Amino acid sequence: MRRYPAEWEPQSGVQLSWPHAHSDWAPYLNEVEPVFVQIALHICKYEKLLLVCRDANHQQHVMSLLADADVDDERIQIHLLDSNDSWARDHGPISIERDGQPLLLDFVFNGWGNKFEAGLDNALTPALYKLGAFHGAKLEKHDFVLEGGGLETDGEGSLLTTRHCLLSPQRNPQYSQAEIEDLLKQTLGLKRILWLEHGHLQGDDTDSHIDTLVRFSDPSSLVYVACDDESDSHYEDLKAMEQELRAFTTEAGQAYRLLPLPWPKPIYDDNAQRLPASYANFLIINGAVLVPTYRDLADQQALDVIKQAFPRHQIIGIDCLPLIYQYGSLHCVSMNYIDGIL
């Protein structure tokens, strides 16, 4: 029997694939590495950190940064592997339970529908497995394109996702929606799938990953991106998404408690492209929630909403403005592993 645990359940640790100068992060390294340092610092206060570095020189550089920040290196496990990028949520394996034991699922990562080169990233999981990174789990490979950022589970058999992502013709064109549902139910141990028709952030190149839009905070509550500015280009689509969420019910037939997150002011890159700043892209770890902030007046309101969603967790804001210049945020660069894996 299989079960896909919720992110708030006990974890063994989190993977970070550290950015390097041979990736798209090259122009932003000085700005983005301090963000990774802060994420690593707080992860190591609560659980283990699986760290992927490009080579020995990269490892030495990264460990120097972490030492300067007094990160607990006794909780860090490092492996040297080359990577295309740092989006561990999508190139890392998905951890589930099978008959009460941890199991890692290695799906295909093709750069969000062949938008970007991803061969090195797609090879990371089996390489880490061969290196002994996952001490307490078996690895099961699947010839199906799937990214962790496209999945949100309540731990009780319900999965929330978007049609735009999972039904993208650049991912698994050979499968119908019904076939994808059957595959996900069998592989992840799901009872049902809640499909969102609406929800998109400008600048997002993942085809509407759910972790930028809506998150479970418990089996009966949803934290979601809301937009009340009628002049904003997102307004109609996010209002339509909100109506979908209002129509969803728990497996027991009850309406979800909905917790709307605020909307930061628009942020643009040097080419005047709007960047996908989302407070929904938070990371839940043992005893804490790491929340992306964007140097915006709405940051504190977002932290307050997430505290309401997770009253027993420490809520920690991390300045993630540099991350969104590569079109992702905090949850996107991290992959959590259930208890018994690291």
Each residue's pLDDT tens digit, 70-105: 999 999 999 999 999 999 999 999 999 999 999 999
SS3 label, residue 201? coil
Instruction: Give me the number of domains the chain comprises.
Output: 1
Q: How confident is the model at residue 136 (pLDDT cuts 50, 70, 90)?
A: confident
Whether pLDDT at 160 is above 80: yes
Mean pLDDT of the chain: 97
Segment 28-63, tens digit of pLDDT = 999 999 999 999 999 999 999 999 999 999 999 999
Mean pLDDT computed over 312-324: 98
Tokens 């983005």 locate to: 32
Looking at residue 158, its pLDDT comes to 98
| pLDDT tens-digit readout, 262-275 | 999 999 999 999 99
- The number of residues in the chain equals 342
* % pLDDT > 70, the chain: 100
Residue 138 predicted with pLDDT over 80: yes
DSSP state of 142: E
Whole-number pLDDT of residue 108: 98
**What is the strand order of the sheet 48-53 is part of?**
76-80, 48-53, 11-17, 334-338
Distance CA 234, CA 93 (A): 32
**215-230 pLDDT per residue, tens:** 999 999 999 999 999 9
The answer, as to whether pTM is greater than 0.95, is: yes
| pLDDT tops 80 at residue 4 | yes
What CA–CA distance (Å, rounded) separates 184 from 124?
22
- Residue whose token pair is 């690593």: 40
- Give the containing element (helix H, strand E) for 153: strand 152-153
CATH code (residue 132) = 3.75.10.10
Instruction: Provide the domain limits for residue 310.
Output: 2-338
Distances (CA, A) of 330 to 172, 204, 282, 318: 27, 14, 6, 8
- Mean pLDDT (whole number) for 145-156: 98
